[in-house]
Amino acid sequence: MVDTYAMYRRLTAYPQGKRIFSLVFEQAAPYFRTARPRFVELGPNRAELTIKKRHRVQNHIGTVHVIAICNGLEAAMGALAEATIPASRRWIPKGMEVEYTAKASSDITCVAETDPADWARAGDVEIPVRVRGIRDDGTVVVQGTIRLWVTDKPAR
């Protein structure tokens, strides 16, 4: 199993390291390729990435499609989970609830954050996820929560 956070730290020590990490990350989960997430920051309890507004992720009214944004949210949450979860635990997504609060008329920044105390217990862990458009007014375009099921790894 690849240690995602260790790979991020190792690659970001080089020029273009975040770009390289982003490309490697989307290869691990090919469905992320459509949104082309580019990591800005990754660490325990926080991940931030951007999705460029380009034709491939736009809807019929010329804004970033909400499914592309949710794809970015899931990528941010997955990277955060890998960077945060204790080595003795494992996780799997259980559900996502989002609200569409405004049109996404620019590049999008996806931010996933969690409370360190959430990872101390097994069971449902609520990962609050928010997305904001990179617009002059900083309007949040999607906000929501991704729930994870966190359990202890089985003994080998």
Our count of domains for the chain comes to 1
Segment 4-13 mean pLDDT: 95
Q: Is the pLDDT of residue 135 over 60?
A: no
Q: What are the phi and psi torsion angles at 153 (to 5°)?
A: -70, 145
Q: Is the pLDDT of residue 132 over 70?
A: no
Q: Which domain holds residue 97?
A: 4-152
- Buried residues in 18-36 as b, exposed as e (16+ CB within 10 A): beebbeebbeeeeebeebb
- Mean residue pLDDT across the chain: 89
Q: According to the model, what pLDDT value does residue 38 have?
A: 96
CATH number at residue 67: 3.10.129.10
| Percentage of the chain lying above the pLDDT 70 cut | 94
Q: Are 42 and 115 in contact (CB under 8 A)?
A: no
